[in-house]
Structure 1
Amino acid sequence: MSSSMSFASPPSRLPDPHYQSVFYEGVPTKRFFAWVIDVALITLITVTLGILTLTALFWFWPLVYLTVSFLYRTITIAGGSATLGMRIMNLQLRGPTGERLSGGEATIHTLAYLTCSAFALPQLISLVLIVIGDKHQGLHDMLIGSAAINRPR
């Protein structure tokens, strides 16, 4: 008896970019502005924490910024499948099942995003993929099968 095991992943249930293009219209530009908003909010939170600790946290700025960024992104994505910047820009992250990201998926997405952001080449690859790809997925999105789409009404 021979058995063949298939390790192929199940097909994505994200909206099809060719038949449901409305979900992907303007996504690269919206992602950029959402990112700018999120970076501004994370910086504001980090500066506020530094001031509240009488500048003690400023000695550990990179670590504090990274921690705030991780918590902000994970909590907001887990709570509504979008960061506050994404919500303002009317975007939402969806997983390979087409559903909103769960808390665990939000954590994995954030870890993948921060890892790609920490290195120039993966960040550059992500930017190119977001601009030219059918689903406008960054490298971190492709790794876990997620995509940012225009929020369904």
Structure 2
Amino acid sequence: MYSAPVNHLPDPERQAAFYDGVTVKRGIAWLIDVVLIAIATAIVSAVTILGLFFIPMIYLMIGFLYRWVTIAGGSATWGMRVMAIELRNAHGERLGAGLAFMHVLAYSVAMSLMLVQIGSVILMFVDERGRGLGDMLLGTVMLNRRG
């Protein structure tokens, strides 16, 4: 017997407040995170002196770790927290370390392939839940923070 998967996420039609403005907030949160990662990269690069020769690699490593640790620790990066949004899994729960890692990995892959990232951003604007490609693959969704 076949049974459809249960989705515990808010309904975008009946509970639209969970999704209102999330795509724009997500973009602003991304900008905040980029600035924070750039500042951390500048500090690490300057302190290590040799790091000045490896700024792009340091930026990538700090960015990956920053996103993974903050999402695993509170289901949102600091930029997302400022914008009062958070990631949730298909059951409406906060992301654990494993799913946070997979989400950041999907983001990193999309960012390394411009057409994939453009497609993902377009999906965020046209999907009823504002999900990007990584969200669709992993069953995650960005919501306005509850409470």
Q: Secondary structure at the match of 2:90?
A: coil
Give 1:13's aligned residue.
Answer: 8
CA-to-aligned-CA distance 1:94-141 (integer Å, 9 cap, x gap): 001110001111111000111111101110111101111110001111
CA-to-aligned-CA distance 1:37-80 (integer Å, 9 cap, x gap): 000000100010011112x1121122111110110000000110
Alpha-carbon distance in 2 for matches of 1:67, 1:148: 24
Change (3 A) 1:9 1:62: farther
AA aligned opposite 1:10: P
Structure 1 residue runs without a partner (length 5+):
none
Q: What is the TM-score with the length of structure 1 in the denominator?
A: 0.92
1:79-118 mapped onto 2 (5 Å cutoff): 79-118=73-112
Q: Alpha carbon RMSD of aligned pairs, Å?
A: 1.4
1:4-153 mapped onto 2 (5 Å cutoff): 10-54=5-49, 56-153=50-147
Structure 2 residue runs without a partner (length 5+):
none
Q: Secondary structure at the match of 2:37?
A: helix
Alpha-carbon distance in 1 for matches of 2:9, 2:109: 24
Q: CA deviation at 1:9?
A: 7.2
Moved over 3 A (4+): none
Work out which of the two has the higher radius of gyration on C-alpha atoms and give 1 or 2.
1
Q: CA deviation at 1:14?
A: 1.3
| 132-141 or 58-67, larger mean C-alpha shift | 58-67
Q: Secondary structure at the match of 1:93?
A: strand
